[in-house]
Structure 1
Amino acid sequence: MAFIKRLGWYLVGLSIGIIFLAFFLKKKSEETGTSFCYFPNCRVLKDIRSKPITYSDEVAHVFKVDSITWKDFFEEGNVDFGKSDTKSKPCKIYFISNKEQTIKVKNCPDKVEVVEVY
């Protein structure tokens, strides 16, 4: 019976701790605008959004540079790591797709360039 009692108190303390932790982390993320990105797709898109974005001449002529369209790619897009060249220096190349299209992006240390749209 002593083990069951200790297990019960442990679970009560654990659940209270998880509730406090969730409350404080939610409040911190709302105040500072931070987001917790631990998955590779999220980390790449967050890195791309933090840099100025430029467009190649081909992309600028073929497609209108519409912020809503690009926002969908850089916030909700899926990075295809199978096609991407993540080891190239100095600029890494990523293929990012949304529901209809795929773009090729060069992620350099100081800027991001949209190279092609498929």
Structure 2
Amino acid sequence: MAFIKRLGFFLVGLSIGIVFLTFFFKKKTEETGTEFCYFPNCRVLKDLRSKPIFYSEDINALLASNKLDTLDINTFFRNGDIDFGKSNAKTVPCRTYVIEGSIKQKKAILEVKNCPSKVIVERVTDL
């Protein structure tokens, strides 16, 4: 059998397998809500989303004055980028993370303490 013919059979089988896996994993993630988080940014944000969130006095004042909303904070936990250079992930018991994101189309930075059983939102600063 010629090499071109074998390559053709291989590519047809590979494409059928990729289509099958795409539909299988898409259905699985929609039903169970699973995520494939392999990068450090995604893993830390997923860990932050899985714990109850508490707010510092500064954040509670911003929430009370309607300058900040809990949905804005949740967007940080979904779409934010963690600056590992400014974060301190080695402190015990609560690790401190600096998350960059946007609030109402303005860039902002959220500082969060990740404790074993809860997440404490410390402060929000605008850029």
Structure 2-normalised TM-score? 0.86
Name which of 103, 106, 111 aligns with 2:113: 106
Matches within 5 A, 1:6-25: 6-25=6-25
Aligned residues between the structures: 117
State the 4+ residue runs in structure 1 displaced beyond 2 angstroms.
Answer: none
Q: How many angstroms does 1:44 deviate by? A: 0.9
Q: Which moved more, 1:31-40 or 1:11-20?
A: 31-40
Q: Which moved more, 1:8-17 or 1:35-44?
A: 35-44
Q: How many angstroms does 1:70 deviate by? A: 1.0
State how far apart, in whole Å, the 2-side matches of 1:107 and 1:33 are.
23
1:3-35 CA-partner distances (Å, limit 9, x unpaired): 111111111111110110011000000011112
Report what 2:49 is aligned to: 49
Name which of 76, 93, 96 aligns with 1:93: 96
State how far apart, in whole Å, the 2-side matches of 1:71 and 1:86 are.
21
1:26-71 CA-partner distances (Å, limit 9, x unpaired): 000001111211221111111100000001112212x116221112
Runs of at least 5 residues in structure 2 that lack an aligned partner in the other structure: none
Name which of 67, 71, 77 aligns with 2:74: 71
Runs of at least 5 residues in structure 1 that lack an aligned partner in the other structure: none
- Name the % identity: 60
